[in-house]
Every structure is written in structure tokens, then in C-alpha cells.
């Protein structure tokens, strides 16, 4: 089989076997020794029912077994591409795959990129690993079998009763083409929320200390980034998130609230990009940092004719600005916030919260404890959050729309800290994460 580059995977027009066909295969493999005609007719009838079932929204579950034995052992790239091909094909049939046995993914991490015209109606999520595979399963993977487990929303993965993963019942002949996945459907009725608890299971959430450590590493001699570079990409991601959720026709006036640290710098960059996108930003930055970078960023905003409110310890200008804004970008505190909130932000946060305006928070909603979450009454309750680099521990239970930005993490660093970041779509600076009640279980390290 020719090795395919992941970015070059071509989607065949041919539909892969779906449940009915696979069921027939399964049935024929498992019951070939019982050739009674009426039993066969009955089984075919059951398969046809299943086929009808899979086309309805009632389908709960589908798993695909991919026999990696058709590939030369050790060719991990091939394995990866083969698996990715299967996933693309399935995705076209409105299936969301979200579990990959850790033994496979560790050896050859899977990523799912919508290329070659795949346009599934359901979001394709980056595949994350769940280390819940049994030893025997791992053994079967290493002996030439692989499995990709997937679920339609509402389903739960389960192996067909009576099937031994180690037997040859699911082994495809060596001549089997790439289309030869074995699929079957199950109808285990497990509540949607419960099923969803394994989506995004392995993305790492960072505590404040680790977030700072990664930040430092990025800007170390080895990481080789400058603060300007990181801030630019972080701010661009914030602007893109706001623009994704709040369009400029309905929400043109953005009040960008900037804190005294680097997050305030992200806010300034975001304000500039929002100006470029056609919004009308206003900046409230009561305590601008003294570093040269903040001065330059402010100057860049002034050059874009963006209004910067006079720095002040009182909140009068903020009150006024709130009455003439459509949406707020909260770039006040990030991962270096240490409670309790001090002046003038202790007075500002309640004003922002009471304004009733939609809020987009950067990295951590301001006032939230970076590790513990919303434990302070002063803390904001944003509608949208854009986490930078990787989400922080404290936002695990954030219930609004959650995006990840900061598309600058190099592969070496991602691997070193086992971040398991999701794939960013195309050329976007952001990727939307499942909501807390969809993803739930996240890897705690």
C-alpha cells in the first residue's frame, strides 16, 4: 500500500461498509458453520432491519474494527493513514469518532483533518486517547489488530457479545483493500451526557504553576519565542474568537478591558485586530504596565484610531463606556492572578458583570482562581472563553462556549508536557472545545 501523507489523504468516493454489510460479514464469519437456510434468511432479515435502523437518528453506536494486519508491521505512518482514512470515511456518514485505544495512538498518534472534500454535518473532533483498553486488547493490537472505537451521540462502545477480539473472526484477508473495515452497530442506550464524558479525554488542563512554566519555556533559549510573538498570536486568537461568536453588524462596539500584566497586552493586540476586522473597539486599561511592549501596543492602537480611555483608579470612565458597548473582551487577569481582587478591579468586575453585556474572557475568566475555578463572588461569568496554549484547571467546569487559541505550541513542547492538544482546523487560530457538560472527564496530571 502506498504510504500516504496525512495531509494528502484522498477520500474515496466509495462508501465504506456500513452496519448492514458489516453485520452480514460478521454474521457470515461467525456462523458459517450453521448453514441452515432459514437461519440465514432470518439473519439477513435482521441485517436489513439494522440497515434501516442505522439510517435513522435512533442509532446509538457504531464501532469500526480496522485490521492493521493488512499493513506491513512497523509502518506506523501507514497505520496512521489507514486509520485516518477509515475515520474520514466514517465521518462522512455522520459518525463522530472519539476513542482510540491508547496503544495505537501512543505508537502513532491519530489526528483527523477534514481534507479532500470531507464535510460532515457533525463536528469532527480531534481524536484523543483513552487509556482504557484492556491488556488483552492491547495484545491483540500489537499482534496485528487495531480497533477504532466510535460512537454516534448517545451511544456507548461495546464489543458485540460473543466476539473474541483475538480470534480471526474479524481478520480481513491480506488482500482486503482499504475499504475493508468491519463495522457493526449496537444499540446500547446510554444517556448522551454519560457517553460524552470521554470526548477530549486526554487534553491536559494546566495548573497555574505549569502554565507559567510552559510560558517561560516558550520564551527560553530553547523555546526561542519572544513575548511579542506569543502575545500577537494570543491576541489574534482572542479577536478571532470574539468575531466568531459576535458578528460586527450586531456587536460592533467592543469594550476591551485590559489588566496590568501580559494578558492586558493580549487585549491590546486583540483590540488592534478587531479594529482591522471592522469592529469599533474601545480600550479600558486603568493600570497600563510600564514595560516598553505595552507602550508600543498602545501606540499601535492609537494609530488605528482606537480610543484608549484615560488610565484612572476610579471606574467612572468604565461605567460610561459600558453604556455604549455591545460586547466586552475581558483581558484583565490571566494565569498569574492571585486572589483577592484588588483596586480598581474590585470595583470594575461587578460593573462589568452587572452591565448585562456578553463577555468573552481571555484564558481565565477574571476573578476565577486559576486552579480552583469560580470561588469568588466578584468573579465574572463570561459567555465565551478563549483558553491560551491549553485550558487551565480552574475552567474545567466552564459552561459557555470554550475555544482554544495560542496556536504557537511547538510539537516538542506539546509532547514534553503531554498537552494532547486538539487539532486546529485549517488555518484558524482557534478551535472550539466541547462544552463542559459534553466533555467532562479530562485528564488530570
Ligand X SMILES: NC(=O)C1=CN([C@@H]2O[C@H](COP(=O)(O)OP(=O)(O)OC[C@H]3O[C@@H](n4cnc5c(N)ncnc54)[C@H](O)[C@@H]3O)[C@@H](O)[C@H]2O)[C@H](O)CC1
Among 16, 151, 223, 260, interactor with ligand X by CB under 6 A: 260
Residues 225-254 that bind K ion (CB under 5 A): none
| Separation CA 73–CA 173 (nearest Å) | 15
Contacted entry of ligand X, K ion, none for residue 127, CB cut-off 5 to 8 Å set by kind: none
| Separation CA 158–CA 201 (nearest Å) | 18
For K ion, the closer CB: 185 or 369: 369
Distances from the Cα of 437 to the Cαs of 48, 364, 409, in angstroms?
A: 35, 18, 27
Distances from the Cα of 148 to the Cαs of 37, 99, 184, 324, in angstroms?
A: 33, 7, 12, 52
| Separation CA 430–CA 388 (nearest Å) | 9
| Separation CA 128–CA 116 (nearest Å) | 22
265 binds ligand X (CB under 6 A): yes
| Separation CA 9–CA 88 (nearest Å) | 9
C-beta of residue 248 within 8 angstroms of C-beta of residue 214: no
Pinpoint the alpha helices (H) of 55-108.
76-91, 102-107
For ligand X, the closer CB: 49 or 222: 222
| Separation CA 128–CA 398 (nearest Å) | 20
- Name the minimum Å distance from CB 331 to K ion: 6
366 binds K ion (CB under 5 A): yes
Residue holding cell 456518514? 93
Stretch that binds ligand X, among 61-69, 136-144, 317-325, 329-337 (CB under 6 A): 329-337
- Name the minimum Å distance from CB 190 to ligand X: 36
344 binds ligand X (CB under 6 A): no
353 binds K ion (CB under 5 A): no
Among 363, 371, 393, 432, interactor with ligand X by CB under 6 A: 363
Contacted entry of K ion, ligand X, none for residue 240, CB cut-off 5 to 8 Å set by kind: none
Residue among 115, 185, 123 nearest 150 (CA): 185
Instruction: Give exposure, 412-429, as e/b (b: 16+ Cβ within 10 Å).
Output: ebbeebebbbbebeeeeb
- Name the minimum Å distance from CB 203 to ligand X: 15
For ligand X, the closer CB: 169 or 293: 293
- Name the minimum Å distance from CB 243 to ligand X: 18
Stretch that binds ligand X, among 3-11, 78-86, 142-150, 254-262 (CB under 6 A): 254-262
Q: Is 100 helix (H, G, I), strand (E, B) or coil?
A: strand
Residues 199-238 that bind ligand X (CB under 6 A): 214-215, 218, 230-231, 234
Residues 6+ apart with CB under 8 A from 14: 179
Stretch that binds K ion, among 19-27, 131-139, 222-230, 353-361 (CB under 5 A): 353-361
For K ion, the closer CB: 86 or 263: 263
193 binds ligand X (CB under 6 A): no
Most distant CA atoms of the chain, gap in Å: 88
For ligand X, the closer CB: 67 or 266: 266
Q: Is 59 helix (H, G, I), strand (E, B) or coil?
A: coil
386 binds ligand X (CB under 6 A): no
Contacted entry of K ion, ligand X, none for residue 261, CB cut-off 5 to 8 Å set by kind: ligand X
Listing DSSP states for 152-193 in one string gives -TT----PPTT--TTSGGGPPPTT--TT--EEEEE-----HH
For ligand X, the closer CB: 100 or 341: 341
Contacted entry of ligand X, K ion, none for residue 195, CB cut-off 5 to 8 Å set by kind: none
Contacted entry of K ion, ligand X, none for residue 218, CB cut-off 5 to 8 Å set by kind: ligand X
Stretch that binds ligand X, among 9-17, 119-127, 171-179, 257-265 (CB under 6 A): 257-265
Return the C-alpha cell found at 311: 488610565
Number of neighbours of residue 103 by Cβ within 10 angstroms: 19
Residue 398 CA, distance from chain mean position: 14
Return the C-alpha cell found at 204: 491536559
Fill in the per-residue mask, 64 to 93: x = in contact with ligand X (CB under 6 A), - = not in contact.
------------------------------
Q: Give the CB-nearest residue to ligand X.
A: 334
For K ion, the closer CB: 79 or 395: 395
For ligand X, the closer CB: 114 or 410: 410
Q: Which helix (H) or strand (E) holds 333?
A: none
Among 101, 155, 259, 440, interactor with ligand X by CB under 6 A: 259
State the residues that interact with ligand X by CB under 6 A.
214-215, 218, 230-231, 234, 259-263, 265-266, 333-342, 345, 362-363, 388-389, 406
Amino acid at each position: 500500500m502506498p504510504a500516504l501523507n496525512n495531509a494528502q489523504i484522498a477520500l474515496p468516493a466509495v462508501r465504506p461498509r456500513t452496519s448492514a454489510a458489516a453485520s452480514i460479514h460478521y454474521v457470515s464469519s461467525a456462523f458459517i458453520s450453521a448453514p441452515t437456510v432459514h437461519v440465514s434468511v432470518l439473519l439477513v432479515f435482521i441485517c436489513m432491519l439494522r440497515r434501516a435502523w442505522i439510517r435513522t437518528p435512533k442509532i446509538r453506536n457504531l464501532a469500526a474494527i480496522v485490521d492493521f494486519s493488512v499493513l506491513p508491521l512497523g509502518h506506523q505512518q501507514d497505520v496512521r493513514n489507514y486509520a485516518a482514512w477509515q475515520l474520514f470515511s466514517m465521518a462522512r456518514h455522520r459518525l463522530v469518532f472519539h476513542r482510540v485505544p491508547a496503544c495505537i495512538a501512543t505508537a502513532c498518534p491519530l489526528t483527523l483533518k477534514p481534507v479532500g472534500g470531507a464535510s460532515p454535518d457533525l463536528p469532527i473532533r480531534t481524536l484523543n486517547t483513552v487509556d482504557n483498553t484492556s491488556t488483552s486488547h492491547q495484545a491483540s493490537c500489537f499482534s496485528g489488530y487495531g480497533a477504532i472505537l466510535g460512537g454516534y451521540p448517545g451511544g456507548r462502545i461495546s464489543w458485540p457479545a460473543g466476539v473474541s477480539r483475538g480470534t480471526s473472526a474479524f481478520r480481513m484477508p491480506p488482500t482486503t483493500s482499504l475499504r475493508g473495515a468491519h463495522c457493526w452497530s449496537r444499540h446500547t442506550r446510554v444517556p448522551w451526557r454519560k457517553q460524552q464524558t470521554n470526548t477530549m479525554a486526554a487534553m491536559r488542563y494546566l495548573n497555574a504553576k505549569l502554565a507559567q512554566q510552559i510560558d517561560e519555556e516558550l520564551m527560553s533559549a530553547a523555546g526561542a519565542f519572544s513575548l511579542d510573538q506569543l502575545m500577537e498570536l494570543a491576541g489574534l486568537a482572542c479577536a478571532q474568537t470574539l468575531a466568531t461568536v459576535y458578528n460586527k453588524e450586531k456587536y460592533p462596539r467592543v469594550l476591551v478591558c485590559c489588566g496590568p500584566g501580559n494578558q492586558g497586552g493580549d487585549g491590546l493586540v486583540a483590540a488592534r485586530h478587531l479594529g482591522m476586522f471592522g469592529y469599533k473597539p474601545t480600550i479600558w486599561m486603568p493600570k497600563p504596565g510600564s514595560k516598553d511592549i505595552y507602550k508600543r501596543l498602545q501606540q499601535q492602537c492609537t494609530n488605528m484610531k482606537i480610543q484608549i480611555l484615560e488610565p484612572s483608579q476610579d471606574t467612572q470612565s468604565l461605567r460610561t463606556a459600558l453604556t455604549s458597548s455591545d460586547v466586552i473582551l475581558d483581558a484583565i487577569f490571566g494565569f498569574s492572578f492571585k486572589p483577592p481582587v484588588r483596586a480598581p478591579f474590585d470595583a470594575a468586575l461587578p460593573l462589568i458583570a452587572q452591565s448585562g453585556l456578553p463577555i468573552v474572557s481571555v484564558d481565565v475568566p477574571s476573578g476565577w482562581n486559576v486552579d480552583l475555578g469560580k470561588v469568588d463572588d466578584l468573579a465574572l461569568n463570561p459567555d465565551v472563553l478563549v483558553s491560551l496554549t491549553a485550558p487551565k484547571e480552574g475552567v474545567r467546569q466552564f459552561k459557555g462556549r470554550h475555544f482554544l487559541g495560542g496556536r504557537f505550541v511547538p510539537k516538542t513542547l506539546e509532547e514534553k508536557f503531554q498537552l494532547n492538544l486538539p487539532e486546529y482546523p485549517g488555518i484558524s487560530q482557534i478551535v472550539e472545545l466541547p462544552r463542559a457538560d459534553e466533555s467532562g472527564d479530562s485528564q488530570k496530571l
